[in-house]
């Protein structure tokens, strides 16, 4: 009986630790993050990224990059200044648990063109297919962001930032790919990705 109780306690411990992490993150979100990203990470404006369902480790890494200055943002750097590594992990876990609802594209034809580029690449500009790194549904990985359901204008701005080397904290392969993309291709891919769930 004691052995059974010990096993049950060990199984319950991670859930309790996660619950504590989630509570910690929720308090941080309610204190500041919600202003731009909303309580569930759905974003209060097209200027800001959707964090709902984003990969936990990726969020934590981006927060660390903002804090160190590797990733530049006049808005984010002061917001993360007081965060600890544990806070960043907790926020990653919290936002990864939120649901990301699909958002219908404003221009179905544009999204269809974006889908073609995402899956096959841009033949005219020798742009590599995005699917190779970000996955068929744009869900990314621990090291690569979830792009599915992201705000289209935010995505387009990030792609442009990679292309001009304004954003250098992440995957260096993106610099070459983004630099080859035309404005029309960027716009189309962003529209497609925004419509995915």
**Per-residue pLDDT reduced to its tens digit, 118-137:** 999 987 778 899 999 999 99
Question: Does residue 139 carry a pLDDT above 60?
Answer: yes
Percent of all residues in the chain with a pLDDT value above 90, rounded to a whole number = 78
Q: Which helix (H) or strand (E) holds 79?
A: helix 76-80
Question: The domain 9-96 belongs to what CATH superfamily?
Answer: Cytochrome c-like domain (1.10.760.10)
The CA-based angle 182-185-187, given to 5 degrees, is: 110
Q: Give the whole-angstrom CA distance, residue 189 versus residue 183.
A: 10
pTM of the model: 0.88
Question: The domain 108-194 belongs to what CATH superfamily?
Answer: Cytochrome c-like domain (1.10.760.10)
At residue 11 the predicted structure's pLDDT band, cuts being 50, 70 and 90, is: low
Per-residue HEC secondary structure of 129-182 comes to: CCHHHHCCCCCCCCCCCCCCCCCHHHHHHHHHHHHCCCCCCCCCHHHHHHHHCC
Query: Computed over its alpha carbons, how large is the radius of gyration of the chain?
Result: 19
Q: Do domains 9-96 and 108-194 have the same CATH topology?
A: yes
How is the chain split into domains, by residue range? 9-96, 108-194
Q: Give the whole-angstrom CA distance, residue 29 versus residue 87.
A: 11
From the number of C-beta atoms within 10 Å of its C-beta (0-12, 13-18, 19+), residue 81 rates as exposed
What is each CA distance from 46 to 51, 63, 112, 113, 171, in whole angstroms? 12, 20, 21, 22, 24
């Amino acid at each position: 009986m004691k052995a059974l109780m010990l096993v049950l306690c060990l199984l319950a411990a991670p859930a309790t630790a996660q619950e504590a992490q989630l509570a910690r993150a929720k308090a941080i979100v309610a204190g500041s993050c919600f202003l731009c990203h909303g309580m569930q990470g759905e974003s209060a404006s097209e200027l800001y990224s959707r964090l709902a369902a984003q990969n936990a480790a990726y969020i934590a890494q981006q927060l660390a990059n903002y804090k160190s200055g590797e990733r530049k943002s006049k808005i984010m750097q002061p917001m993360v200044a007081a965060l600890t590594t544990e806070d960043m992990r907790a926020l990653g876990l919290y936002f990864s648990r939120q649901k990301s609802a699909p958002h219908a594209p404003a221009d179905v034809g544009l999204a269809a063109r974006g889908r073609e580029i995402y899956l096959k690449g841009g033949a005219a500009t020798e742009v590599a297919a995005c699917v190779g790194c970000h996955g068929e549904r744009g869900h990314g990985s621990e090291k690569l962001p979830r792009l599915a359901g992201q705000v289209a204008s935010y995505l387009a701005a990030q792609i442009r930032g990679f292309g001009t080397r304004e954003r250098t904290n992440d995957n260096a392969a993106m610099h070459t790919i983004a630099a080859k993309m035309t404005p029309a291709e960027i716009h189309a891919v962003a529209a497609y990705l925004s419509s995915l769930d």
